[in-house]
Structure 1
Amino acid sequence: MIDRILKVFLLEDRPVDAELTKRALLKFAPNSVITVANGEQEFLQRIQWAEYDIMLADYHLPGYNGLEALLHVREHFPGMPFVFVTGQINNEQKATEAVLHGANGYVLKENLDQLEGAIKKALKNARDRQQREDLLAEKKQTRSLMLQKAVYLLNSSDDFPKKGEIQEALNQVQALG
């Protein structure tokens, strides 16, 4: 059960399938707010409406497909988890291609009981990735501050035999970022 408000973007062209997916979602995430788009134009417009927690998308859409939507999301909203909810992925190559392009998983519409597990896994992976990125950014900032302090201390110290070599080494470290 997911008790918090979950902002979900659903890309699905068939109203019946959209309704079935929403019902399956609301069983384990009753506080979900769901935005639905049924094609490329609505998708490109409505994806801007909010910061969504997760995107669910059909793979096959008239004139558009879920892989194109996935690529758009990865380019413009790289941290957003993305799960395909599809009638079928015709072959293993398409499923592999979807995963390689950054999908967090897929659920077949005939197995909507697996939606909860797929969403929870995708949300956890996104949360873990964000925590790792935050920690890395914090470490990088700390390293930069320590490097600035070392440069300041070295520049304000009296001359000594290897001072120039140390300054050059610190400059090289700064250049590496």
Structure 2
Amino acid sequence: MKDRLLKVFILEDQPMEAELTKRAVLQFAPNAMFTMAATEEEFLQKIQWGEHDVLLADYNLPGYNGLQALLHVREHFPYLPFIFVTGTLNSEQKAAEAILQGANGYVLKDHLEALERSVVNALAKADERRSLNQEKIRRQQYRKLMLQKATTILQATADFPEKTMLEQTLREVMSEI
């Protein structure tokens, strides 16, 4: 992490809390770059600016909350690791809800020393998910190519009783990929 350029998005309405989170990140990722947002409007605008490696968000924000931000991220940026950095998730129910909604974890503001472990774990899981998804896409592309080859070969063959049925079956299978 020391040499990696880490692009961090911080969603926090309290400037001092945002600064403390930023300093905690800089301790384990000195080359980190930050995008900061304090409101829903800022968040929705700035999240579009570019790719981020991790999002650190407070749970309670004025007129907005971290779960709403999490749902937005999961819908639009499914691989972006999302970690709550908050003082209010000490309720087991809230913590469980956050995790079930797709958060990669949470760190309490009075235990920022745990942030490095949470970020490293979240980044590793996101990399793994990306790799699995890329492999899935590669397999789908390969299947589609094989089906296209089979269709081309079938079209070049002489007519036989089941040819129309086979062509229809191949079209149906290709439409599902």
What is the TM-score when the length of structure 2 is the normalising length? 0.92
CA-CA distance at 1:38 after TM superposition: 1.6
Which runs of 5 or more residues in structure 1 are unaligned?
Answer: none
- What residue number does 1:47 align with? 47
- What residue number does 1:97 align with? 97
**RMSD across aligned C-alpha pairs, in angstroms?**
1.6
CA-CA distance at 1:128 after TM superposition: 0.8
| CA deviation profile, 1:96-146 (whole Å, cap 9, x unmatched) | 221121111111111111101100111111111111111111110110010
Tell me how far apart the structure 2 counterparts of residues 26 and 142 of structure 1 sit (CA, whole Å): 43
What is the TM-score when the length of structure 1 is the normalising length? 0.92
Tell me how far apart the structure 2 counterparts of residues 40 and 161 of structure 1 sit (CA, whole Å): 63
Tell me how far apart the structure 2 counterparts of residues 76 and 173 of structure 1 sit (CA, whole Å): 29
- The answer to whether the Cα contact below 8 Å between 2:54 and 2:80 also exists between their aligned partners in 1 is yes
Taking the TM superposition and a 5 Å limit, the aligned residue runs for 1:62-73 are 62-73=62-73
Tell me how far apart the structure 2 counterparts of residues 84 and 143 of structure 1 sit (CA, whole Å): 40
CA-CA distance at 1:166 after TM superposition: 3.0
> Residue 83 of structure 1: SS of its match in structure 2?
strand
- The answer to whether the Cα contact below 8 Å between 2:55 and 2:83 also exists between their aligned partners in 1 is yes
% identical aligned pairs: 56
> Residue 34 of structure 1: SS of its match in structure 2?
strand
Tell me how far apart the structure 2 counterparts of residues 86 and 37 of structure 1 sit (CA, whole Å): 15
Taking the TM superposition and a 5 Å limit, the aligned residue runs for 1:23-38 are 23-38=23-38
Amino acid at match of 2:92: E
- What residue number does 2:157 align with? 157
Tell me how far apart the structure 2 counterparts of residues 158 and 40 of structure 1 sit (CA, whole Å): 63
Tell me how far apart the structure 2 counterparts of residues 122 and 149 of structure 1 sit (CA, whole Å): 41
Which runs of 5 or more residues in structure 2 are unaligned?
Answer: none
